């Protein structure tokens, strides 16, 4: 099955998080519920819940209610090979540091303001 490039981008962004990588590796041997995963990788349940929801939404993990608890499992075990090889995430898919995000926002704002200014100039003429 050939996946569209957008899917690759989404998966790479999902796997750029160490927490999400740890969650996926945690589910290698058996299905687990939220607090099991949280205690295993030593993160707060709220943090794990956030990342599990993202992984579930893009289709790497599935959740199923059993005995009053939601158990999570891997939908595609081949992802483990990718993680175990520690293949580098391409630079364009890595999260940007906060200062770069601010600089990008500033550049975008400047472009928008320039466009508005040009429209105003046309209206004045």
Task: State the CATH architecture for 5-94.
Answer: Orthogonal Bundle (1.10)
Domain ranges of the chain: 5-94, 96-125
Give pLDDT tens digits for 46-76.
Answer: 999 999 998 888 788 999 999 899 999 988 7
Flag whether the pTM goes above 0.85: no
How far apart CA 53 and CA 17 sit, in angstroms, is 14
Give pLDDT tens digits for 68-110.
Answer: 999 999 887 777 777 777 655 555 545 566 677 778 888 889 9
Q: In angstroms, what CA-CA distances link 48 with 16, 17, 22?
A: 15, 12, 10
Closest by CA position to 51, among listed 95, 4, 96, 18: 18
């Amino acid at each position: 099955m050939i996946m569209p490039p957008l899917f690759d981008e989404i998966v790479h962004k999902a796997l750029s998080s160490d927490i999400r990588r740890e969650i996926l590796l945690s589910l290698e041997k058996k299905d687990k519920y939220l607090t099991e995963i949280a205690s295993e990788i030593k993160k707060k349940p709220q943090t794990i819940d956030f990342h599990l929801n993202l992984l579930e939404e893009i289709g790497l993990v599935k959740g199923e209610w059993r005995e009053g608890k939601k158990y999570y499992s891997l939908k595609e075990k081949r992802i483990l090979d990718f993680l175990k090889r520690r293949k580098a995430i391409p630079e364009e898919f890595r999260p940007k540091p906060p200062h770069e995000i601010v600089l990008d926002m500033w550049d975008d704002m400047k472009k928008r303001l320039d466009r508005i200014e040009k429209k105003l100039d046309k209206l004045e003429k």
